[in-house]
Structure 1
Amino acid sequence: MGVSMREVAAAASVSVGTVSNVLNSPDKVAPATVIRVQAAIEALGFVRNDAARQLRAGRSRCVGLVVLDVGNPFFTDIARAAERRAGDHDLTVLLGTSDDDERREHAYIDAFDEQRVYGLLVSPIGDDLGRLDLLRRRGTPVILVDRDADGTPFDSVAVDDIAGGRLAVSHLCSIGRRQIAYVGGPAGLRQVADRRRGAEQAVAEVDGASLEVVETSALSVLAGREVGESLQRRSPAARPDAVFCANDLVAIGVLQAFTMLGGDVRVPDDIALIGYDDIDFAGSAVVPLSSVRQPTSLIGATAVELLISAATESPQRHRPSNPVFQPELVARASTLG
């Protein structure tokens, strides 16, 4: 049997209400009393019953965060920024990764719902948001992360991926490349599709430019390496002269195939290479990788702020907010030599 608040109160010679205030609103209690109660808590080994507190409040102090791939530093950076901002508001972030699997995504959504989380931050896999809308209508704030939800009932924070795709391919065309390959997938991911659309728009504006689409099953280093190896097996005349990858992990895999596995492709002399996200590894690759930078810290922090706003406003007065940030081109040796 655990130690009760009543026992803590008796040991500190205060009321149960004072113990509760020390735990939840210490600014309402005299500093000397706070010290005395904290000493009693430590001496008795009292552990707060958060489940009971959650039932009374109707909502926990935990925020659920579901990302596509926690192994991708892009999402890791978003999670860290969200965790820092949540901590400023006495909230804790619980992280789950869907691994681009809708069943896993649904399982995490259901688990966080059962835990009565304060709110949910999620990078959804597909366009069917029905499960998330049901959660929202039951009173749990839901913020879409790395997805523009303008025109829907959801708050969201995103980056203009169409503009990012245009940036990448316009840069490749500006250095004289015309036979461009776009590498990434699955194609059903909104981010992959939007970056491709931007690439197509950029190619359409340049005479003689073309875009070959090479779909991958995942946005991983291994998937990129497989594509790089397949490009190496082509004759030099059949290869593209530039490759735009849907994220930096894919680009790093392509680069490994070209430079570290006995290949004969020189970057950028034979094939210029650019990624997306500008993760920390990009700048320290064997050939520093050009990339399209996303403001990960701003995305994570803004998502938490939107969540708090949605949680504290009445549903009748809340109006969804959908900020969209602009990406930035970071050109390095993989395109500039």
Structure 2
Amino acid sequence: MSDPTVAPLFEPFRLGALDLPNRIVMAPLTRSRADHATLAPRQLNADYYAQRASAGLIIAEATQIMPEGQGYAWTPGVYSDEQIEGWKIVTGAVHAKGGRMALQLWHVGRISHPDLQPGGGLPVAPSAIKPEGQAFTETGFKPMVTPRALELDEIKAIVAQYGKAAANARAAGFDMVEIHAANGYLIDQFLRDKTNTRTDAYGGSIDNRVRFLIEATKAAADAVGADRVGVRLSPLSPFNDIADSNPGPLFQRAVERLSELNVAYLHVIEGETQGAREPENGFDLATLRKLFKGAYIGNNGYDPALAAQRVAGGDVDLVAFGRAYIANPDLVDRIRLGAPLAELDKATLYGGGAEGYVDYPALNAGAEAKVA
């Protein structure tokens, strides 16, 4: 028997070019299970996503737009023919189950290590400022290094690559793309004054620091249509050693500019990534919702009750669930039935094979009968 308290999550929704059957989104989740030689997805990845195709929308894991964009071992790309063909297997499997799928486009910037860079080069960033933390390489965790500041012509080339990657994603069968501008990666590094000390057109003023985000998003929108593009932001999160001295005006301006591009949605990590929803010295996230004329996806710390409450109240249009989707391939059914959620195995989150990836069981008939 369905749980009536979560009924708002099961209302259909028009998201850009797509009709979604429910308001439940699978958030992008790095799992480091691409082919080790080609960084292409494979049948194992197709099985994983197909198990979760009942989501209103699947946003596939962060995927590097170019070799220099990689920051973790065995994460997939979308820049080679082998990778595009691999993603076709994934999107085909999801579509066969009636699902819809976006690809998150990613450049990690300074959150990398020479072991993960072509020719062992330095990671790149807006400015040569070393991040605190360790990089996940093929031989284990290693301290991150001081990156190399990008030249202007390199910035233009990366912007163009966002457009190329969006086109590659559509060629691979994705319905939409999401620009990853959150969690301390390259676009976020341009936005924040802790990581961007440039004195050219990409640094200094808020409009200058927002420039790279807008150019990358526009490149993707020009390639595939604005109604097939979303953007992810994390205005209050310190993840990956990121910060800004005055995030309120910065992110309000960023959202105003994104709204002008008519992109389909804004996907916001509300609070600290995987942490508190309302950290100290935060600002009113509702302001971003008001400034953006497209759809708003809320993310971070949601349970079904909070998700339903915020959808019903108009605070969000959709809700993205992250780690709950790892151990619950049938999360939509579990929410509908009010069934308990399975716990994930942290030991199998990154790397490896089928274990902890495609072997989490769905509800069986006995469990459904018990809930009913």
**Shared fold (TM-score, shorter chain, > 0.5):** no
Larger Rg: 1
Higher helix share: 1
TM-score w.r.t. the length of structure 2 is 0.26
- Alignment TM-score, normalising by the size of structure 1: 0.28
